Amino acid sequence: MKKLSSLLRFAAPWAILAALSPAAWGDGEASPEDPAGAGSGASSEAGGSADEQEKPGIEIGVADAPDDEAEENVSAYLSALSARKSFSEERDDLVREVCEKALVPYGWYSPEIEVRHPEKGRIEVRIDRGERTLYREVRIGTAAELPEQGRIAAFARDKAAEYGIEKGKPLIHPQYEAFKADITSKLISDGYFTGKITNSTVIVSRDEAKADLSFTIEPGTRFAYGKITMEGFEESHDAVKGLVSVKEGDLFSALDLASVNQTLYETGYYKSVVVRPDMREMDSGNSTVPVRIGLKAKPRNLTEWSLGYSTDEGPRGSVSWNRPFAGSRGQSWKSALSVSGVTQAANFSYYIPRENPIDDYYRLSAEYRHKDLNDTEFQNLTVGAHYFTKTHGRWQRDYFIESSFEDYDQSDDSDDVFLLMPGAEISRLTTDGTTDPASGERIRLSARFSSKTLLSSEDFVILDAFYRRIWSPTDGSRLVIRAEQGAILGSSIGDVPSSLRFFAGGDQSVRGFGYEKISPKNDDGDLTGARYLSVGSVELQVPVMNKVRMAVFTDVGTATNDYGDDTDIKVGTGLGVRYISPVGPIRADIGVGVSETHIPIRLHFGLGLDL
């Protein structure tokens, strides 16, 4: 903004020079100051005199420190004079009048304006704005400050301070008009439909350069909700009525209605949700307004196809078949089949709401997964029951029990195991809700265990913690940090199935290294998987053009069976490009494994939120 203001200050005199020149006003007619029509820009093919060759116009000099908005307003007002067909010294008063009108909205009520004609066809305007008008008294209140009305008055005083409408601050009329518009909007959004501003007076003393403001609000009676009705997709009404937090008789709040609208949409049942007060049926006698909730269902069956590519798994595709609403309690189900060069998977999940379908529900799931990568190959079938709840704060809790059968080959380890694993996971995601968040945080903590006393083949405990954070140090830039720590306690790592062991390396781990290629190795050099995982990353993104950012990053990590002096810590660093697409950032990175003797270089691609 400062750069723009500086550019405007530099360019404004030249723009006004062009706009106010006789060439801009004239159409070839002669004027008293230019009887030959030279000032109109007319010339012969053979050329003309120096006066005729020179471009006429206006130059503006400002005697005191410039005020950006006032200067821009002066430029805009003077530009309007370009419609004039002629100009002479007799028109100097018009220039002064225009400049005065342009300065008044920003508190400059007594400027001294001098218009000169230093040479033929040139006008010079010098402005000394004098003393700026400041607020001497600011009185804001309601006609009768009842407790509820006092809240409106307090809001008005806070909003006035936000706009700089305070004793000792300059009188700026555009800010005052915006302040009044905010007060009117607040009255409506809080249900004061008959409220009004009964007094809005600004008395200016030009001699003293002072202004006295008197502002009085008469809110009237605050309306309450009348009858609340749902319309459309009747079979879903019982399932979501508990999500309608506003009740008949509650005091009106547009913010509360917007929250209901958002909550109903987040259930996933509806293609559109419209929650609105029915002003046509407003009952002024009882000070109530009915609310109508319009619901439009999603298609009964939804299918989606997707194709993609990542450097971790190569080409991949998936197809899903979902039913957003599958029962009067709000049940739903999702199924998906995905295939890549590394993993093939099929899964099915059935959701049963408990208190509400967003923050409190059960999920029954089944998944088959086959993976063949590096020295790992396994087939896994997992069936689980989960209880998700977010009713006690911002953290989502997942309490589960899963049964898993796995047949695996990991280097020289081969086995088939049955596991019954109770566990829990808590997680939290905070973001600004955009596809390119300027700030946000994701935290995930999980624990699960297997015990032979619960009919499992092995005894062990798995702990995992993940953290990612985004900041915006400057406008358009991003600083992203990431960390993960995992541990397997109990059985020998050779008795833990492949799907639960830790590996590092790849797009979302340590860049510059292959996908899951960081791991302890056996005597034959085959990857065995690890008991522990430690990964950290720092990335800075800076804008280089519209929707494009350059990135520089450093990743550090290891997958190991013990921490000691000989722990092999891998370090990858490099450069990348981020293109901000409508569906999220598209990432391309060149990672360099600088910790290695023979330095690997890998190209990484990805799509999706940094969180």
What lies within 8 Å, CB to CB, of 222 at 6+ separation is: 148, 190, 191, 192, 251, 252, 287
The whole-chain average pLDDT of the chain stands at 86
Residues 129-148, mean pLDDT to the nearest whole number: 85
Query: Which CATH architecture does the domain made up of 134-218 adopt?
Result: Roll (3.10)
Annotation: CATH topology of 2-128: Ubiquitin-like (UB roll) (3.10.20)
The predicted structure's pLDDT at residue 39: 32
Residues 450-477, mean pLDDT to the nearest whole number: 95
DSSP 415-438: EEEEEEEEEEEEEEEEE-SSSS-S
The predicted structure's pLDDT at residue 90: 62
pLDDT tops 50 at residue 576: yes
β-strand 601-607 against 570-581: which pairing, if any? unpaired
The predicted structure's pLDDT at residue 59: 56
Confidence label for 70 from pLDDT (cuts 50, 70 and 90): confident
pLDDT tops 70 at residue 288: yes
This prediction has a pTM of 0.76
Domains 224-297 and 374-607 fall in the same CATH topology: no
Q: Other C-beta atoms within 10 Å of 494: how many? A: 14
The angle formed by the CA atoms of residues 583, 588 and 591, to the nearest 5 degrees, is 145
Distance from the Cα of residue 188 to its chain's centroid: 27
The predicted structure's pLDDT at residue 283: 93
Each residue of 426-437: pLDDT tens digit?
A: 999 999 888 899
The predicted structure's pLDDT at residue 119: 74
Residues 53-79, mean pLDDT to the nearest whole number: 63
Alpha helices of 507-603 — where are they, by DSSP H? none
Which is nearest to 130 in space by CA: 108, 161, 105? Answer: 108
For 224-297, CATH gives 3.10.20.310
The predicted structure's pLDDT at residue 73: 83
pLDDT tops 90 at residue 570: yes
**% of the chain beyond a pLDDT of 90:** 70
CATH class of 374-607: mainly beta
**% of the chain beyond a pLDDT of 70:** 86
Domain locations along the chain: 2-128, 134-218, 224-297, 374-607
The predicted structure's pLDDT at residue 542: 97
d(CA 255, CA 37): 64
